[in-house]
Amino acid sequence: MQNIKIIQEKLTAKGIKLVIKEKKKEIGRVYLYFLNNDLHKKPFCYFEDLFVAKNFRRKGVGTRLVRESIKLAKKNKCYKIVATSRHFNETAHVFYKWLGFKNHGLEFRVDLPHA
């Protein structure tokens, strides 16, 4: 195995940050990343860090951001959109399910120290 090399192949991805502002202040946001892999002909969308300011929760801001995210994923011909949420965030889980997301698995991660 020591003679086998790992080769890096460059990939390109597109990222978009959707923002809703009120009086020039950001009250909601979400990051979208459009990624490809060799297993599928179409890209997928990774949906991360949905945030709505406390005073604007339950007023449709998050729903608008998620629906626009799904719309953009469809426009970019994605075969799926993936959202993550921490185990303890039951409110977000209910919200995502209400919008049509399904609990499909677990997220495993390693937090890396700053260099």
Domains and CATH numbers, the chain: 14-98 (3.40.630.30)
pLDDT at 2 over 90: no
What is the reported pLDDT for 107?
85
Task: State the Cα–Cα distance between residues 85 and 62, nearest whole angstrom.
Answer: 14
Residues with Cβ < 8 Å from 27, sequence gap 6 or more?
20, 21, 52, 53, 55, 56, 61
pLDDT digits (tens, 9 = 90+) for 60-100: 999 999 999 999 999 999 999 999 888 999 999 999 999 99
pLDDT digits (tens, 9 = 90+) for 104-113: 988 888 989 9
pLDDT at 1 over 80: no
Task: State the Cα–Cα distance between residues 55 and 106, nearest whole angstrom.
Answer: 30
pLDDT digits (tens, 9 = 90+) for 17-52: 999 999 999 999 999 999 999 999 999 999 999 999
